[in-house]
Chain A
Amino acid sequence: MLRFSTWKFLAIVAMTLAAVLVVAPSMLSPSNYQALASRLPSWLTPPTIVLGLDLQGGSHVMLEVDQADLISTQVKNLRDDVRRILREEKVAMTGGIGATARGVQLRVPDAADREKILPKLRLLRNSFSSNVGGQTPLEVEATPEGVIRITVTDVGVRDKSRKAVEQSIEVIRRRVDALGTREPSIQRQGDDRVLVQVPGLQDPQTLKEILGQTAKLEFRLVAEPGQNPSETEELEQVDEQGKLPIEKQVMVQGEDLTDAQPGFDQRGGEPVVNFRFNIRGAQKFGDVTSKNVGRLFAIVLDNKVISAPRILTPITGGSGQISGRFTVEQANNLAILLRAGALPAKLNIVEERTVGPGLGQDSIDAGKRAAYVGAGLVVVYMLMTYGVFGVFANLALFVHIAFIFAGLVLLGSTLTLPGIAGIVLTIGMAVDSNVLIYERIREENHAGRSILASLDAGFNRAFATIVDSNVTMFVAAAILYFLGTGPVRGFAVSLALGILTTIVTAVTMTRMMIAVWYHYARPTKLPI
């Protein structure tokens, strides 16, 4: 056993050095790290340990597509489509288009008319949704009495919300980037959720406000007295009490905007948002304003009236101004929202975890302190129990910790507070392998074997046990990883890494050190 080939020896030394090299940059203070990074080419900039939000402070916000909102938008679109088809086919219905729980229904008395439009209605499912695995997103059924019911199926809803999540991710990314935060992480979770993590954010409130708005901007005319009530709806006003009757027809939409910037009004000096349209938007905006001079033109954001200025002259240049008694910050946020575009559906915050930067630093300090004290206690205890063998175990422990951190750096895995707990725990567990070996060596020695034979038997016999016990721990860690979220995952990664490196350090490294020691010390008595 005690013969180690040179290449094995070199391999272990090289691995250790590599691990220390990988970890070293993470141990530098931020300013020293900056100094180092600036002197190296960018492709060589050393990676550092990614700290979890609980350690560096920041916000973790889980958003979920509002199903009710999503469905009502779909139903609204469906109604428009049905109306268009009826108009195109010149089909008459009786009593208008009614709403059902998840769709629309209408009555077409003439059977020939029904035959004519049913295939067209069925075709709607192609434009509604694509590729849902053979299941239909829209169900069209007709009763002999002439009632046609069109319903969005569960498959349809799921597909829409999946698409909404995809689009939302893009919009959210633009919005969060505009906040000027560094390294935000935006990921989809399941079918209908988006997880937004923004490290080091000082003010989670702005983030939440910015994420919580759909930012659907519409320009609609304010209704005039005596207008048909079915063409108008009452909308709330943002800065004034009471509601305003607004025409349902949308004249110009936010998607035609090309830019929006916060600014100040030329006359009053109050904060405003300046916007500019693309060609199509500019044309529509010009048309509407020239036809309706003298009327009130409402700027509607997420179904709330921001302001309703009177059209004094036609606006044909394609740019305009939104004023609405904003603060500078509000104007700024509105501009961000308009630039980033509207969300396809409302998103609700279903989970929020925000850690202030101060608390994060405190947690790092606490974690470090616990790790130093824990490691210190274990090191002293091993020395006291096993003497020179304790020195070997402690060296192995040091390399073990270096390996864990190197693993975290290389995997780009996040170090969380529970992760630190996992590392402190593996410090205790890592020693277990050495303890198993040493106790076995003692045992064999007491049973009357020679030193060499005891060492040999100790390592060989303990190895099977170490493998068995570590595999079971590893299985637990793996399951933690796959089922856990956030911090629990961090813990699982640290634990799993710790278990994997144990085998290398506690078994191979210690064995090597003992071999070298035996070679030079030539002991006549086992020192444990």
Chain B
Amino acid sequence: MKLLRLAPENTKFPFMRFRRVSYPFSAVLSLIAVALFVFKGMNFGIDFAGGTVIELRAKSGTAEVGTLRSLGESLKLGDIEVQAFGNAADATLRFGLQPGGDKAQQDAVERVRGAVGQNYDLRRVEVVGPRVSNELVQSGTLGVVLSILAVLTYLWFRFEWQFAIGAVIATMHDLLLTVGFFSITQLEFNTTSIAAILTIVGYSLNETVVVLDRIRENMRKYKKMSTAQMIDMSINAVLPRTIMTATTVMLALFALVAFGGQVIRSFSLAMIWGIFVATYSSIFICSPMLIYLGLRNDDVDRKVEEKEEALEAEIDYTPGPAGALASMYDDIGDTPVPSVPAKPSAPKPAARSRSGGRRRPK
């Protein structure tokens, strides 16, 4: 049986060369996310904003949003939001905190029940008072911050410090973009969304750690290779796994979106976005960070890197054919040598004699 392969074998994408694109790109996206958060804001659910949500189902026939809306307005509950929801018989009413403390919230629910109770079943009622919603905001924020700190500490102990910083920057990036996603889609942001965000943080770290693990391994194996090359090689090596895992998680998430019901739809949609972002950031944000943070700053490495950078600079100014990128290092097993597109065969034998054979891992 022919097995399915989504990822091509033995890829040699020069991921690190995109860092000059990916950093500005991500910076712009992050700024947009922050701007969206500040100017457009989030569609905070009642968990955070306080207020009341009532889910109704018509006892017979369909829910009449128009009638409900005018009915809601006549109850003088402030801005009342009426939405069709799920199937035709369902609707939700949502209104903000009523002035007059906790008791007033309960009274409001009573009034709604009195007004619509004859024709509708109240399938779900959620009332969150002002103090509780404040506390939920606090504990939510604290949760995100603490989890990042905890993970930072763990990575610090397990890996080099550059890895920890790279991972945290990538995670913050994912966090920002997820917040931006919630702002732009205006999906409801509630405690379940906090769970989604923390899961994205978890997934993002998972991705990052898998890549970093390989980088660390290769770092010891290929001492003479430039950092950028070595990272590229590591990412290419784990690429089939990255694609495979992202696909399985996506399959599960699409099942949740399609069949999991309304309540967790925004959770699942946010997660789908998060998987994309997390995969992207582990490759294009975290890994290049290692170069900037000067991973492996020993003398040998610096020499190789200088040479590499000179070559890269050359490549940047004289863009070659697309095929040239893929053949950047012809043989991963040997000490890789970047081939300059202008004269592809020339440097190869020279480089081989210069650096000797492959170094075996200790």
Contacts and interface: CB of A to CB of B under 8 A. Distances in A.
A327 B361 CA distance: 86
Given A358-B121, A480-B198, A436 B241 contact: yes
Given A350-B131, A381-B247, A479-B150, A469 B209 contact: yes
B4 interface: yes
Interface residues of B, number: 81
Contacts of A486: 191
Contact of A472 (B131, B154, B256): B154
B357 to A, nearest CB: 15
Given A205-B113, A384-B4, A484 B191 contact: yes
Nearest to B106: A349
Which of B102, B139, B333: most chain A CB closer than 10 A? B102
A106 to B, nearest CB: 32
B21 interface: no
B244 A472 contact: no
Nearest to B138: A483
A471 B157 CA distance: 13
A440 B210 CA distance: 12
Given A374-B255, A431-B245, A432-B206, A484 B195 contact: yes
Given A208-B106, A385-B3, A483-B142, A354 B124 contact: yes
A424 interface: yes
B237 to A, nearest CB: 6
Given A348-B101, A356-B123, A428-B249, A528 B255 contact: no
Contact of B252 (A348, A350, A378, A464): A378
B210 A358 contact: no
A386 B261 CA distance: 32
B147 A479 contact: yes
Which of B103, B146, B252, B259: most chain A CB closer than 10 A? B252
Contacts of A465: 209-210, 213-214
Chain B: interface secondary structure?
helix
A208 to B, nearest CB: 7
A472 B199 CA distance: 11
Interface string B244-269: 11011111111110111101100110
Contacts of A356: 121-124
Contacts of A469: 205-206, 209-210, 213
The 6 closest A-B pairs by CB, nearest first: A366-B261, A374-B255, A428-B249, A476-B202, A428-B252, A370-B260
Given A64-B131, A348-B102, 15 more contacts: A353-B124, A359-B55, A366-B261, A374-B256, A381-B247, A384-B3, A425-B253, A436-B210, A439-B244, A469-B206, A471-B154, A472-B154, A472-B209, A476-B205, A477-B202
14 contacts: A363-B261, A370-B258, A381-B248, A381-B251, A439-B240, A461-B217, A464-B213, A468-B209, A470-B206, A472-B151, A473-B206, A480-B147, A483-B143, A487-B192
